[in-house]
Structure 1
């Protein structure tokens, strides 16, 4: 059966293979434009007849052009959609995995080919991926606004709305609404950390998988300063009425100009190194507490958590040119000062890398700063709050014609989805997959499916083995130590790490 009933109407998908049906671009909320712009997501309008759902919906407003994904164009409004892959189109009660894409809260799409849910569905899961508002539309703070009318963290509220859609509709696709795992990468993983401490999300999921959770969330003063800067660049007042008068494309262009300004100006502080304007805002309402504090207090103790980080996160950001180059000792000292890093942290990393160029020391510290240390703290604080927690590390490297392809940011995702054969991932993994890569993908898919089904990925929890994360690598990879600053040097570092 390729037709399914949802609370808004019937939808028709297609056979992705003999044993999996895909249903794409199902609206879970109304288009967030016009009178609904900058508002909490509203219910999707019902339709009559059977809606054709054989193609992905449009992406949320962004300027990114991602391989294999739709490109946003003005007029693309039905952006709040979900996609479902089910191996049980005739009914069942299978575990559900809901994926939240990354993209620095600024770009990304559920249509990315490496996020195709087919392999995970064949492993016995009903897989859901979703789009949500990004950039100013989803995470821009609106000063002097009625918070009930123009809330902060609209992108997080979209994710909550999608999870409510799953609770109300997934049984029609053969999924169990009482066995839902939410998973994500980078900004998507950090969103999950937020969801775990949000009252609005309580009870909507039962397990969580966080790949490379990113550290920043913003205090309101920084978010308000960002809005004033973007509004000035867009030529509109930083008020609800003024911002609503600016088109999405105007705010996108203004945001891009602000990013480029930070990128060009070494005197712009911490934002110079990897400019990012948007993140969840610690507003005390939608996001009532910062995730690390909330988890330590037990806010998510009823949710099993699996955290996966890569060993060389930040090398990807350097390879694609999104990070400032730090190549001298003077620049490295300035970097540490701009982020307010604890005394001795960079020196500790330098001691672990005595023969490495300055750039490698910088990439090591910055990768830990944004991803690695936050991932470790997420594990520790969730366990401290009484939650079951598992940790893993992705360390698959490969030597190619142009040198070592590292275990960098995003490299684990094609393996976790079983999509190492997709053309778009060749850059991430260093070319065509080897038999050892296929074996690693099978093992990761199996572990993720097992965790989603019953909470057991196949290795001891953090409480049982706190210093022994599961390490993912192939037999082709030589085991190697990944130098980093000693953990005790991170003790004084605080999050968020961006400052006005």
Structure 2
């Protein structure tokens, strides 16, 4: 059909495309360019524009160092565009009338990428299958990345800056959804925010942020690194190292706003690598704890049952850490020396004067007892659990007292990934949630077959995710998590419900919530 549907938003009209299956508006500006005096500041809502703005092409990705494992816009002539002026969002909805006859529920996606990579333009996130088959209005968006989005320069002595800029970008986008999504046929009273990896970390931050109250009504967190958020002391370490590399004094506001963005990206890439190598388990970039947007660490808030009382679907992949081992990434400590250094640092912090009252690391022998029988993969499993699985368990147990909570583990992997030891690694769930198996260029996963089974798994996953967004449970036979049964859905070739799937882990790690401050 290729019609050009026009929708009028609060800031002006936008013209998209309709291919007969979905209507899509790509590259809608929701904020003024965060450049010049706005570079280190909270985003400002987009000013009104005259006439009809074209919305048929993705906006630029946030500045970042190109990474071949994260293709930002495959097939786009000239490759992906990157620009500091990156605060754009996209809306996709089915071409057909809603099955319910009313407004459709809304799903707002936050992409992953270690808080330093990625974009809403990645092919896997185009969303046609998810929107059309799930009968939802889908919103994807860009937020500032790396140093531009997650540095707390104030912790290093800068004055003309604000913290948690990326989280503020997301909050502004959610306000845009509240105010404008009805014009696209979406229900502003039925918004599900969902994300994976860093995007899921942002979801947990939103659940702990007073500023997010009323902006969404359900949440999905896929592999959230919920323990990797830090207070001013740790944030200051990163900010000072960044400024040293940039050659800028903290009080030099003119230099901070005028230094070329390319220099910011390079200095950010350097600390992105240096910080986790010098401090295993610590990320250079992550939401900052202790400001007006995020007063407390999400892991503590949610595990106490004090998060925003909205239904939550949360889980991890069985073999998260194999991706980091395969990529030789410094982000996750897997080798024994790095793991030992991380645990030593955690023990020193948890047991130091002023540490969390009563919190002690479990004895090393008790933890290792949970990993008997797998000496060759023990470090990978430990890294998976401390970075992803245990935080997810702590969050699920706590949030279950505030709102219905559904816990899963994604185990499915095609035969080739199983044989090569990759398994259900970090991010391998994405094509199944989105139904976009073409989103991974030269994807070797199905060289030994399995595409038909994968398509069936994807259909079930998408049905569960969108059923949740429609306001129900995520599919039949999946009860909410509680402290007695601890029901967990294992997503595999055939889904199965397992009571207390993680009992051995809980026995090894204990019930105490562990994290850096």
TM-score normalised by the chain length of structure 1: 0.88
1:397: Cα distance to partner? 2.3
1:345/1:3 CA distance change after superposition, 3 Å: farther
Structure 1 counterpart of 2:57, from 55, 58, 83: 55
Q: How does 1:34-433 map to 2 (within 5 A)?
A: 34-65=36-67, 66-69=70-73, 76-87=83-94, 92-122=102-132, 123-143=134-154, 150-214=161-225, 215-239=227-251, 241=253, 242-262=255-275, 268-270=278-280, 276-296=283-303, 298-323=305-330, 333-340=340-347, 342-345=361-364, 348-349=367-368, 352-357=371-376, 360-384=377-401, 386-400=402-416, 403-424=420-441, 426-427=443-444
1:343/1:381 CA distance change after superposition, 3 Å: closer
1:413: Cα distance to partner? 1.3
Asked if structure 1 preserves the Cα contact closer than 8 Å seen for 2:7 and 2:14, the reply is yes
Once the two structures are superposed, residues 443-488 of structure 1 have per-residue CA deviations (whole angstroms, 9 ceiling, x without a partner) of 11111110000131021101387422111111599x9x99996313
Asked if structure 2 preserves the Cα contact closer than 8 Å seen for 1:114 and 1:424, the reply is no
1:347/1:307 CA distance change after superposition, 3 Å: same
Q: Which sits farther off after the overlay, 82-91 or 135-144?
A: 82-91
Q: Alignment partner of 1:488: what SS?
A: helix
Are 1:490 and 2:502 an aligned pair? no
Structure 2 counterpart of 1:471, from 490, 499, 515: 490
1:418/1:243 CA distance change after superposition, 3 Å: same
Q: Alignment partner of 1:103: what SS?
A: coil
Gaps of 5+ in 2: 348-359
User: For the residues of structure 2 that align with 1:167 and 1:104, how far apart are their CA atoms?
Assistant: 27
Asked if structure 1 preserves the Cα contact closer than 8 Å seen for 2:157 and 2:251, the reply is no
Which residue does 1:439 correspond to in 2?
Answer: 456
Q: Which sits farther off after the overlay, 413-422 or 134-143?
A: 413-422
Asked if structure 2 preserves the Cα contact closer than 8 Å seen for 1:9 and 1:51, the reply is yes
Asked if structure 1 preserves the Cα contact closer than 8 Å seen for 2:163 and 2:291, the reply is no
User: For the residues of structure 1 that align with 2:332 and 2:187, how far apart are their CA atoms?
Assistant: 48
Once the two structures are superposed, residues 184-209 of structure 1 have per-residue CA deviations (whole angstroms, 9 ceiling, x without a partner) of 01111111111112121100000000
User: For the residues of structure 2 that align with 1:298 and 1:374, how far apart are their CA atoms?
Assistant: 14
User: For the residues of structure 2 that align with 1:219 and 1:226, how far apart are their CA atoms?
Assistant: 11
Asked if structure 2 preserves the Cα contact closer than 8 Å seen for 1:143 and 1:239, the reply is no
1:345/1:169 CA distance change after superposition, 3 Å: farther
Gaps of 5+ in 1: none
User: For the residues of structure 2 that align with 1:430 and 1:286, how far apart are their CA atoms?
Assistant: 46
1:372: Cα distance to partner? 0.8
User: For the residues of structure 1 that align with 2:455 and 2:118, how far apart are their CA atoms?
Assistant: 26
Asked if structure 1 preserves the Cα contact closer than 8 Å seen for 2:414 and 2:445, the reply is no
Once the two structures are superposed, residues 204-252 of structure 1 have per-residue CA deviations (whole angstroms, 9 ceiling, x without a partner) of 0000000001121011011111111110011111236143343222122
User: For the residues of structure 1 that align with 2:428 and 2:298, how far apart are their CA atoms?
Assistant: 25
1:335/1:474 CA distance change after superposition, 3 Å: same
Q: Alignment partner of 1:143: what SS?
A: helix
1:421: Cα distance to partner? 3.8
Asked if structure 2 preserves the Cα contact closer than 8 Å seen for 1:196 and 1:299, the reply is no
Q: Alignment partner of 1:181: what SS?
A: strand
1:136: Cα distance to partner? 1.1
Q: Alignment partner of 2:47: what SS?
A: coil
Q: Alignment partner of 2:91: what SS?
A: strand
Asked if structure 1 preserves the Cα contact closer than 8 Å seen for 2:332 and 2:383, the reply is no
User: For the residues of structure 1 that align with 2:181 and 2:105, how far apart are their CA atoms?
Assistant: 10
1:371/1:398 CA distance change after superposition, 3 Å: same
TM-score normalised by the chain length of structure 2: 0.85
User: For the residues of structure 1 that align with 2:413 and 2:343, how far apart are their CA atoms?
Assistant: 28
